[in-house]
Amino acid sequence: MSEPRATTAREVALQVCRDVFGPTPRGAREALDYRLRKTALAPRDRAFATELAYGAIKMRRYLDFELQPYVGERAKALPQPIAEILRLGTYQLRSMNGVEAYAAVSESVGLARKYGHKGTAGLVNAVLRRVATEPPREADLATRASLPNWVVSHWRERFGEDRLDAILAGVNGPAASGVCVDLRNATTAEAQAVLSAAGIATTPSAFAGDALVLDATAPSGELERLAEHRWHLHAEAAAFPVDILDPQPGGRVVELCCGRGNKTLQIASRMRDEGSILAVDDDPRKIAQTSARLDAAQIAMVALVTADVSAMQATPDADLVLLDAPCSGLGILGRQPEARWRKRSDDPERMSVVQRKLLDAAAGSVKPGGALVYAVCSTDRREGEDVVDAFLAAHDGFSRDVLPPRYAPFITANGDVLVPPGIDGRDGFYIARLRR
């Protein structure tokens, strides 16, 4: 990330695309945050850069399909900056409302001259003028949605043809933002009032009582600045596992694979600083981040442990256990623009081996009468029902527990929660609640 400072929104988007698909690939959000910190762009231009970068990353397959007749075999020899400039220009012409064709072409040509030479600028000019004046090509569904074929086939089988179009449109649109209110310090109504006064509209989640849903354009920096430990950034569906866990003051909770602590904070909030939480992860960097967040929020009820969950020697003394297991991440393809290009069709099968070991280990912490919630941000059956069914077949002391009626829109025939990705801006999730 050592390029010159970008001077326009389009140049920021170009640099983000180069970071994501360069020789040392970065995450889109990481790259965008870094690039925006290096600029003095106005809020409107920052929003434009975000929409353009994320959109061009998501729609990469479709953009290459649209460019193919005009670039042909030359695409293989194009320098990366020029190839990305062509994609960004095509995205503006095909998918962005309110962008004048002249501006999309001329600004792209300027970037091609800056990052290439007169010849590459001429190529970009010629190609994008063709794109601007000729109609879109006919394409199959997966190409139009710019997703791998196997992902589209999976969602069709999982959710049916009737919901497929809404899912595909949703994962290609902006993912909804969200916050989880710290109920120790504010009510959801009080948090809404503070955000409303700052011009940020929110809607209470119909499912998780401590979650507020925000428009995708809500500025994350402003949300964090205003928080003052009254909330933390947390997507709505990601708040469902703790809501289904339903921790209460005075209880003992074990959280496994706690990551950077979003759900740890949510559990502590629900428990009102009464009781105890053991939070475990095998990544010391994530444990350090969680520790810092807990200290800042003045939460002292959490014991943090760095350990391999699958090898833990557990004591069955927890009222509740949450296992938010590592997974393929198929449910968050709409939130992480680059993720669709980094997944493989065998990821769910590979991850299910790990998940089964973790769930077996998690069971050892649950006391008789206690409950265990298993969650993954994946929609693949191999990481969901198959893992839970195999667990129940091997542990006759456990059974599926009753879920809150408000989750009825997502409850499967087996009695678990399955949230489709994309619809209403949500991430896809699978959640099961088991009783010992």
Extract the runs of DSSP E, i.e. beta strands, from 216-265: 231-233, 252-256
Q: Alpha carbon 166 to chain centroid distance?
A: 18
Q: Cβ contacts of residue 83 below 8 Å, gap of 6+? A: 75
Q: Cα(225)–Cα(10) distance, rounded to whole angstroms?
A: 27
Q: Cβ contacts of residue 90 below 8 Å, gap of 6+? A: 63, 66, 67, 128, 131
DSSP string over 103-149? HHHHHHHHHHHHHS-HHHHHHHHHHHHHHHHSPPPP--HHHHHTS-H
Catalytic annotation present for 180: no
314, 365 contact by CB (below 8 A): yes
Q: Which of 180, 258, 327, 377 is catalytic?
A: 377
Helices (H), 173-239: 188-197, 220-227
Task: Tell me which H or E stretch contains 213.
Answer: strand 211-214
Q: Cα(289)–Cα(389) distance, rounded to whole angstroms?
A: 34
Q: Cα(411)–Cα(404) distance, rounded to whole angstroms?
A: 10
Q: Cα(345)–Cα(347) distance, rounded to whole angstroms?
A: 6
Tokens for 260?
Answer: 């950077």
Tokens for 69?
Answer: 């007749």
- Could you give the 3-state DSSP secondary structure of residue 305? strand
399 DSSP assignment = E
294, 263 contact by CB (below 8 A): no
CB atoms under 10 Å from CB of 105, counted, come to 21
Q: Cα(260)–Cα(56) distance, rounded to whole angstroms?
A: 29
Tokens for 221?
Answer: 């920096």
| Catalytic annotation, residues | 377
